[in-house]
């Protein structure tokens, strides 16, 4: 009998709904043409990429393309895509936001090196150690740049402990959702060592179902922490307060978009119905090791 994995909808109570940017279709045409210019994908990979609907405007989409090439290990110099993104971004990004992006992107690249070493050594981290590294490798922190692009927010505002806590919550919500959705595919290809579900299974001696339930509970705890922190944001004056609200709304919508992407593209589950992120059960794929 086939084993099934139960994946609860972790975002049922998230206050920010799924929305699509009204300029999405027009921007998508530009971005699709841009990624084809790189000729980085095989025909099969290009077909899979075409089925992915990125939900942000051109700069955000260019950043997503750069990530896609970096993590896709396709032999193309990722600096080409990164440079194209950055050349467009600096035309409208404030200097403080540019600096913060570079700091977070460098941290992301350095974390990828550590991840690669872990993978090469077959090393599985414990839950806390994994989360510390994954907050950087999940690539969400550099994406926060898109939500503050053009804002001239001082460091003292974005470095305030409450704002930092809110950002950390967004990183964790995104990585939990991603790891829950991608675990089945990764374990089937022997690539499950770098996944929260594996870390939970090993440290807490749980099976897949138990680890998924643990991750869902932890996700709910982080959501509560985020919502509670919203009530503790200090005031820096009317103009800055308005920008901070826009920024926080942006990163909150971003993690909603990440969750929707996991279920609405074909990356993890195959063909899906737009807008469907309800509780699902999927068959546990047979590991590649068991087919040899």
Domains of the chain: 4-18+124-291 (1.10.600.10)
Rounded Cα–Cα distance for residues 193 and 15 (Å): 33
Asked whether the beta carbons of 5 and 208 are under 8 A apart, the reply is yes
Rounded Cα–Cα distance for residues 33 and 161 (Å): 41
Looking at residue 44, its pLDDT comes to 55
**Hey, what are 259's tokens?**
């969750």
Q: Which of 100, 98, 180, 96 is nearest to 138 (CA)?
A: 180
Q: Is 54's pLDDT higher than 50?
A: no
CA atoms within 13 A of residue 280's CA, in its CB half-sphere: 17
Q: Which of 38-52, 154-168, 205-219 has the lowest mean pLDDT?
A: 38-52
Q: Is 273's pLDDT higher than 80?
A: no
Rounded Cα–Cα distance for residues 153 and 148 (Å): 8
Q: Which of 152, 163, 114, 157 is nearest to 135 (CA)?
A: 114
Which of the four pLDDT bands, split at 50, 70 and 90, describes residue 53?
very low
Q: Which residues contact 184 (CB under 8 A, 6 or more apart)?
A: 5, 268, 282, 284, 285
134-171 core/surface letters (b: 16 or more CB in 10 A; e: else): bbbbbbbbbbbbbbbbebebeeebbebeebeebbbbbb
Q: Indicate the helix (H) or strand (E) that contains 257.
A: helix 238-264
3 state DSSP class of 6: strand
Instruction: Provide the total of helices (H) and of strands (E) in the chain, helices listed first.
Output: 13, 2
Which of the four pLDDT bands, split at 50, 70 and 90, describes residue 1?
very low
Looking at residue 83, its pLDDT comes to 78
pLDDT greater at residue 127 or residue 67: 127
Rounded Cα–Cα distance for residues 168 and 250 (Å): 14
Q: Is 41's pLDDT higher than 60?
A: no
Which of the four pLDDT bands, split at 50, 70 and 90, describes residue 239?
very high
Q: Which of 59, 63, 67 is nearest to 93 (CA)?
A: 59
Question: What does the mean pLDDT of the chain come to?
Answer: 81
């Amino acid at each position: 009998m086939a084993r099934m994995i139960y994946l609860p909808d972790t975002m049922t109570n998230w206050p920010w709904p799924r929305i699509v940017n009204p300029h999405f279709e027009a921007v998508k045409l530009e971005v699709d043409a841009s990624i084809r210019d790189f000729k980085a994908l095989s025909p099969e990979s290009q077909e899979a990429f075409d089925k992915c609907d990125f939900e942000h405007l051109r700069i955000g989409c260019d950043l997503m393309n750069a990530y896609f090439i970096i993590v896709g290990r396709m032999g193309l110099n990722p600096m080409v895509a990164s440079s194209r993104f950055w050349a467009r971004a600096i035309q409208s990004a404030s200097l403080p936001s540019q600096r913060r992006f570079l700091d977070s992107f460098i941290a992301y690249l350095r974390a990828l090196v550590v991840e690669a070493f872990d993978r090469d050594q077959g090393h599985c981290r414990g839950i806390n150690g994994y989360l510390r590294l994954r907050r950087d490798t999940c690539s969400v922190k550099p994406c926060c740049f898109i939500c503050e692009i053009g804002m001239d927010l001082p460091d003292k505002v974005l470095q305030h402990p409450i704002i930092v806590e809110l950002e950390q919550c967004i990183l964790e919500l995104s990585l939990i959702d991603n790891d829950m959705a991608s675990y089945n595919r990764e374990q089937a290809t022997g690539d499950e060592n770098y996944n929260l579900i594996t870390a939970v299974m090993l440290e807490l001696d749980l099976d897949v179902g138990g680890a998924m339930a643990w991750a869902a509970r932890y996700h709910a705890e982080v959501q509560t922490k985020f919502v509670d922190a919203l009530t503790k944001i200090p005031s820096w004056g009317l103009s800055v307060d308005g920008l901070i609200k826009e920024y926080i709304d942006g990163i909150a919508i971003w993690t909603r978009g990440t969750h929707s992407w996991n279920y609405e593209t074909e990356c993890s589950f195959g063909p899906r119905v737009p807008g469907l992120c309800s509780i699902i059960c999927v068959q546990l794929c047979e590991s590649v090791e068991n087919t040899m």
